[in-house]
Amino acid sequence: MINNTERLEILHKLVESGVQIPCFDGIIIEPLVFVDKGTVILPGTILMGKTTIGKDCVIGPNSFIMDSIVDNNSKLNNTQAYSSHIGSGVTAGPFVHIRPNCDIADNVHIGNFVEVKNSTIDEGSKLPHLLYVGDSDVGKDVNFGCGCVTVNYDGRNKSRTVVKDGAFIGCNTNLVAPVTVGENAFTAAGSTITEDVPDNALAVARSRQQIKTDWVNIKKPYKRQHIK
């Protein structure tokens, strides 16, 4: 780890080269890191290893990037990325974890509380919030609803999930690998998908809702008690 004198020297050289660092607080950038001009580095950001940041990006606050490439015009807010490639125009965060061997294509949106691992995410796809996408190949213009999981591990083997171009993955869907969701296919919210979904199809994998009329009055011990 570099000492504080070395840290400040690196930051001053970056500012002289056209990088914008409005406040040096908590910023650590190692000597092998390259940051192109026009990029803004915000407080709490740590860039380590052989990392390359393109032009006109915004990195931070509180981002950690190691041995990764980030292309031009991307914004990584409170994002951790390891040994991965992040394309141009990507927005990520806050609270995003990009684990090793990910390839995030241009104009992908990764929202809050999302983890991506050993996966490819193609152009224009959206992973908005509360997701785990692991060991997956996601096509172009795919949309994941809130709370989806690619179920990649059965306790012994890790398998891949494929989601093809234009698919829509409904909220709280579990995709149990190995499984493929076809082009422009939909999964209904709350489904656990264990079989391939054909192109242009809707997959519904959940039990039908039942209404038990007057159940609360019949099962009086279960009736809510008012707390004063």
Integer Cα distance of 126 and 226 in angstroms: 43
Residues contacting residue 65 through CB under 8 Å, at least 6 positions apart: 45, 46, 47, 48, 51, 53, 59, 76, 79, 80, 81
CA nearest to 45, candidates 33, 61, 31: 61
22-57 per-residue burial string, b: 16 or more CB within 10 A, e: under 16: eeeeebbbbeebebbeebbbbebbbbbeebbbbbeb
Say if strands 64-66 and 79-82 run parallel, antiparallel, or are unpaired. parallel
* Total Cβ atoms within 10 A of residue 135: 18
Would residue 97 show up in a list of annotated catalytic residues for this protein? no
Separation of alpha carbons 124 and 23, rounded Å:
32
Identified catalytic residue from 12, 109, 129, 226: 129
The residues that are catalytic are 129
